[in-house]
A and B are shown apart, each in its own frame.
Chain A
Amino acid sequence: MWSTAMNPRILEIRKGVLEKNDVLAASLRERFRKAGVLVLNVVSSPGSGKTALLEVTLQRLLAQGYRAAALVGDLATDNDAARLARSGASVRQITTSGNCHLEAHMIGDHLRDWKLEVEGLDFLFIENVGNLVCPSHYDLGEDIRVVMLSVTEGEDKPLKYPPMFNSADAAVITKVDIADAVEFDRAQTITNINSVRPGMTIFETSAKRGTGIDAWIAFLIAQHDALKSPAAR
């Protein structure tokens, strides 16, 4: 500062750090909208039951004549994709090799390599990497972000991960069949979800027993129909 030769200067940038991802996600979203496919980005901690719920969801949607596919993100292994493929839906694994979240370019690249015609789909489920921190920043071009938490995880989970819960559109509480055994505090969980994300749509399900699945499927179909109706947007 005391040197006459050194004058501090400012160069304005004003750019989002994740702009590249956001631009790519916006173009994916436009493509999905044109195709009339409802895209869901499913996030949760590891082991909350994403794959089990998706397995039932895919079976039910296919049985009702809808066309559905899933992209499954994991650090390693294609076990989840193999499990979901049993439903008869088109399923593809994205192995992130250690990356803690999915990014928009991974979705674009896999759709291209997969030669999957999104135009022929009603639903595309993106099962994100099990992680409640990193996936919250990365828009994948989805219509709906669904956060799942199981009854075994503790009612304060939403308070521990506010950015993720706040960025989600719907919450699914899973494994309610064992709620009593693990002394799940349902009222407190719902209060906490609404504190971090007022007005969140909440489903309470058991993939094993089929509890709450009707309401969940009805929600998905209503969202899909809304997407197709010209008045929607």
Chain B
Amino acid sequence: MHELSIAYNIVQIADDAAREAGVERVDAVHLRLGQLSGVVSEALLFGYDIAAQGTRLEGSRLEIEDVPVVIFCAQCRAERELESIQVFCCPECGTPSMDIRSGNELEIGYVEYSDEPAHS
């Protein structure tokens, strides 16, 4: 169970970026999560709310984009999406492949924020 520490990393990186950009309040964080990352979304979402407390991200949404595993098949000369991460073979022709083109992602794409109404 390391999702909480990953959640703290996400919050720290996004909070630092927001501060540098002069953003006071973040509405959402978009995360790209590869199937091979081994991170459990539910546990991460649970940890995120805790980690976000007291930061610019408090109360914000964590939006997770699941990224499938894509390999390059040397036989077909094409990128193919795996049907299962238990079988690293081309789903078309069955050739094994370790030429992984995506699926290891654990990265923050961007954050969403709103223009705050001018302070009165």
Of the listed stretches A40-48, A113-121, A179-187, A195-203, chain B binds A195-203
Residues in B whose Cβ lies below 8 Å from that of A196: 85-88
A221 is an interface residue with CB less than 8 A from chain B: no
Residues in A whose Cβ lies below 8 Å from that of B97: 198
For the residues of B in contact with A, the DSSP-based class is mixed
Known: A10-B112, A199-B98. A133 touches B38 (CB 8 A): yes
CA gap between A6 and B116 in the complex, in Å: 6
CA gap between A93 and B9 in the complex, in Å: 26
- Distance from A96 Cβ to chain B, minimum over Cβ atoms (Å): 11
- Distance from B94 Cβ to chain A, minimum over Cβ atoms (Å): 11
Of the listed stretches A15-23, A79-87, A143-151, A224-232, chain B binds A15-23
Among B13, B89, B112, which residue has the most Cβ atoms of chain A within 10 A?
A: B13
Residues in B whose Cβ lies below 8 Å from that of A6: 114-115, 117
Contact A9 B108 (CB under 8 A): no
Among B6, B18, B39, contact of A11 (Cβ-Cβ < 8 Å): B18
CA gap between A7 and B27 in the complex, in Å: 11
Q: How large is the interface on B (under 10, 10 to 19, 20 to 34, 35 or more residues)?
A: 35 or more
Q: How large is the interface on A (under 10, 10 to 19, 20 to 34, 35 or more residues)?
A: 35 or more
CA gap between A136 and B38 in the complex, in Å: 8
Q: A14-B107, A14-B109, A198-B98 are in contact. List 9 more A-B contacts (CB 8 A).
A: A10-B110, A11-B110, A13-B108, A133-B2, A133-B38, A163-B85, A167-B36, A196-B88, A198-B96
Sample (18) of A-B pairs whose CB atoms are under 8 Å apart: A5-B115, A8-B112, A11-B110, A11-B111, A13-B109, A13-B111, A14-B107, A14-B108, A16-B107, A17-B6, A17-B31, A17-B106, A100-B2, A163-B38, A164-B38, A195-B86, A195-B89, A198-B89
Residues of B near any A CB (own CB < 8 A): 1-2, 5-6, 9-10, 13-14, 17-18, 21, 23, 27, 31, 36-39, 85-89, 96-98, 106-115, 117
